[in-house]
Amino acid sequence: MTLDKYLITNVLKTFKFYNGAKSLAFANSESHLIHDGLKILGYSNREYIEEIDDLKATYWEIQDISKEQVHLQEEETLLTNALNDAMNQREQKQSSDNEHVIAIRGEKQALLSKQQELSRRQDAIEAEGRNTIKIHQGLKAEKEHLGERNSTEVDKKIKSCLQELKTLKAQRDAILNEHVTVSATIKQKEALIKEAQQETSSESTAKQHSVSESNKKLSNNRVKQTKLRERLDNLLLQVGEYLLENQRDRDVRKCTKSHRRILKQVKTLKKSVEYHRKLGHR
């Protein structure tokens, strides 16, 4: 707000044609602009204030903060890379372990299928054996009924049944032995799966700890950077306020000669805020 506009608005307010609350709102809005403008003024002149006695200490403090910021930014890059590496290693390990366990489970499933097939074959052999025993029993009964006469053919059949039973028993025994081998192998696969899962759990815990530690360090780094930015903002604001208040000083004029436009804009805003507040409180 310019002086002319202030005078006109003041007359309007006197006759109740202007609401002072509107001026207070403008004052608050422009106060934020002044705050930002002063920081910009301080930032733009931060490299030139060493020659101003009152700002020498502030100059070196700003330099120290700038160096620390560079250090923290470099550290943040390293920590971010370390975090990404830890997360990638964790995911690769989990993927590798899952593939390993899946492969063992596949082998176990194949063995279970084989075990079921062996059971079906065993059932079939035992059924055939029971049927052969019935035939054998029938032939023995027939021989007892016929006696010694006409028994030659029956004897051949009885002998054939006994031979078949012997063959079926051998087949069943072979299947039972294979059953034992397959069952033992299944137990081995189950033990391998359990061992792999325990190892995966242990290594996953270690990898997760590494990820958590990297996250914690990165978080601490960013907290430090935030605090440094706040300190730097406050210092730059103080520098801007000093330059504005002492703009007639020879060293200040020399320092701000390249930024007179910013100085003028902030000065204009301060005057505008002053006018708005007068209109708002009268």
* Nearest-angstrom CA–CA distance, 35 and 74: 30
The answer to the question of residue 5 being in a domain is no
User: Sign of torsion, CA 84 86 87 92?
Assistant: positive
In whole angstroms, what is the distance from residue 103 CA to residue 65 CA? 56
Q: Please tell me the pTM assigned to this model.
A: 0.52
Is the distance from CB of 200 to CB of 58 less than 8 angstroms? no
**Is 263 among the domain residues?**
no
Q: What is the token pair recorded at 32?
A: 């934020």
Q: Compute the CA torsion angle 63, 68, 69, 71 (nearest 10 deg).
A: 130
207-249 pLDDT, tens digit per residue, is: 777 778 888 888 999 999 999 999 999 999 999 888 888 888 8
Percent of the chain with pLDDT over 90: 22
Whether 37 maps to a domain, the answer reads no
Mean pLDDT, the chain, whole residue set: 79
> Does residue 260 form part of some domain?
no
Handedness of CA 255, 258, 261, 266 (dihedral sign): negative
Q: State the pLDDT at residue 166.
A: 92
CATH number at residue 143: 1.10.287.2610
Query: Are residues 51 and 254 in contact, defined by beta-carbon separation less than 8 angstroms?
Result: yes
pLDDT in tens, 37-54: 788 888 888 888 888 889
* Domain that includes residue 73, residue range: 46-255
Query: What CA–CA distance (Å, rounded) separates 245 from 268?
Result: 13
**173 in a domain, yes or no?**
yes
Nearest to 122, CA basis, from 177, 172, 179: 172
Number of domains in the chain: 1
How far is it, in rounded angstroms, from Cα 128 to Cα 136?
A: 12
In a domain, 54, yes or no: yes
- Given a cut of 60, whether residue 153 has pLDDT beyond it is yes
List of residues 6+ apart from 114 with CB closer than 8 A: 182
